[in-house]
Amino acid sequence: MLRWLYIQLIWLHPAPFRWRFGDDMLDDFDRSPNRAKLRYLADAVASLARQWLLRPEFRHPEALAATAVPETVAVPLFQTIESYKPRPAALLHGGLLAILLILSAMILIGKGGGGARPFLIGAHFSRPSLLPIDRNSVAGSGLNTTVKVRPDPFEAWLKFARPYFASMPVLRALDTDHDLALSPWEIGNAPAALRKLDTNHEGKVTAEECGLHIDPDSVSPAILAQLRRQFMSYHPVLAALDADHDGEISAWEIDHAAAALKKLDRNHDSYLTADELIPFEMAVRAGLR
């Protein structure tokens, strides 16, 4: 009975498929044990649907592979594989099925997990198997340790340098970016910056134009000249610019101001920082040295 039903399923296949694979299918069925014959029947049903729905090449008679040629002529024969293209109806059904599956997955994802119970770590109630915990051993207590951090020396220099730079017209003119340090560009631009301090256009920068506040009429000329020299020599940047120590920055000294300022660069990093520009005595009194 099963063999007859299997033969009928083979005959329902397209003729080209049946001619090519029918005998092999029946032979495999006859050789199979009795417990596997139902599986062969199910496979024949699936093959029947597959051949009629997805394999259009088996629904048409096969073309002759080669024409008859004389035996004396040696003609090479090549096997050709026809291009396969699903039917429009199959593409439509597949597309609708894919859309349906995607929509179903989206609905399940949106509703999934709403009733899931969260997994809790620990226990709600004490049990004999659990170790007891003394709350007093983990109770918080007041702080009994104080950590003191030493102030940053660089920040201390900057705090002291801000009022010093603000009180020195020369440093205000040289420090164009107001970072409390003289960069290589600012050192090279020193002659142009110093000429802007020459308000009376005498070609030189006097001690008064550098920040000395004194009434010339209140002291004698000799004392005034001495005060000017002392003022210029007290401040490192002015002492470097006043090469001849005459109490003023001459035109020649203005032209060579860049070379004079480079002598203040003690660590040779091409920059003049606050600790290289502030007077030593002022730094000592401020506790920075």
Kindly list the averaged pLDDT for each block of 10 residues, start to end, along the chain of length 289: 79 78 80 80 81 65 45 55 72 87 86 57 61 59 71 67 85 88 90 88 87 83 88 88 89 91 88 82 67
Amino acid 279 reads P
Task: Give me the pLDDT at residue 68, please.
Answer: 43
Task: Give me the pLDDT at residue 66, please.
Answer: 41
Task: Give me the pLDDT at residue 119, please.
Answer: 56
Task: Give me the pLDDT at residue 102, please.
Answer: 92
Task: Give me the pLDDT at residue 191, please.
Answer: 92
Query: Is 87:56 a contact under the CB 8 Å cutoff?
Result: yes
CA distance 233 to 97: 95
Q: Which residues of 140-167 are buried (b: 16+ CB within 10 A; e: fewer)?
A: eeeeeeeeeeeeeeeeebbebbeebbee
- pTM assigned to the model: 0.45
User: In the chain, what is the straight-line distance between the N-terminal and C-terminal CA atoms, in Å?
Assistant: 113
Structural tokens at position 109: 């994802």
Task: Give me the pLDDT at residue 137, please.
Answer: 57
Task: Give me the pLDDT at residue 167, please.
Answer: 85
Q: Please report, for the chain, the start and end positions of each structural domain, with discontinuous segments joined by +.
A: 2-59, 153-285
Task: Give me the pLDDT at residue 265, please.
Answer: 87
CA distance 193 to 186: 9
